[in-house]
Structure 1
């Protein structure tokens, strides 16, 4: 078995590279064809297998949805006095916002571990530059 990191040949029985001690059977992140907002609900162990580029796109989707939830929550809270809004509707809006905030923090945490920072904005310029770097390798 050849090590993904150093390229050294290793025996098939070993779990670690004999040269650099990297795990030989660990799955490495691969680019995905399609990403959906619902994938942010995956557990940490699965999200950590996402490629950094995919995590950035997922972070962008989660931040957009979180902003939408925030605007909805605020509009419900600021409804005129004549309009009666039940507490379940308000609780639902708040719980959605909190859920997407927590999911956003998980993804940002993984990105901090990989990149050393979390991007303030995930815009087309950032994604295009990262995509160009990936295509050059």
Structure 2
């Protein structure tokens, strides 16, 4: 088996780790996905940590957008005029959505901090395009 980190041939050795660099031989390295969608933010940490960094940045962008929408909905409900009756369920739903997306955002940001050493303030097209070019050029 060829080590995906150092490129050493470990022959027919069925060991868990590379004989040269001691890297795990059976660990799959992340590859870029064709599509990333918002519902993937609900995946457990172990699965999210297997996402490619580019995909995590796209997911972070989606989660931040949805969190902003939830915040705006929550503020609109809170600032509704007294003539408009807003039931407690609607208010509680708006607040819970905001809290959920905030927590999901922090999980994705935490994984990115572990990988990159920081969390980007903005995930814009320029950042994503430059990272995509770096990944494609290898």
Which of the five TM-score ranges fits, normalised by the shorter chain? over 0.9
SS of the equivalent of 2:104 reads helix
Residue aligning to 1:36: 37
Residue aligning to 1:59: 60
**What pairs up with 1:1-137 in 2 under 5 angstroms?**
1-10=1-10, 11-137=12-138
SS of the equivalent of 2:85 reads coil
- Measure the CA separation in 2 of the matches of 1:29 and 1:107: 15
> How many residues are aligned here?
137
- Measure the CA separation in 2 of the matches of 1:82 and 1:15: 67
- Measure the CA separation in 2 of the matches of 1:133 and 1:30: 14
SS of the equivalent of 1:127 reads helix
Cα offsets for 1:107-130 (capped at 9, x unmatched): 000000000000000001100110
- Measure the CA separation in 2 of the matches of 1:87 and 1:5: 55
Gaps of 5+ in 2: none
- Measure the CA separation in 1 of the matches of 2:2 and 2:136: 23
- Runs ≥4 in structure 1, deviation > 4 angstroms? none
Q: CA RMSD in A?
A: 0.7
Q: TM-score normalized by structure 2?
A: 0.97
Moved more, 77-86 or 3-12: 3-12
Query: Following TM superposition, by how much is the alpha carbon of 1:12 offset from its aligned partner in structure 2, in angstroms?
Result: 3.3
Query: Following TM superposition, by how much is the alpha carbon of 1:28 offset from its aligned partner in structure 2, in angstroms?
Result: 1.1
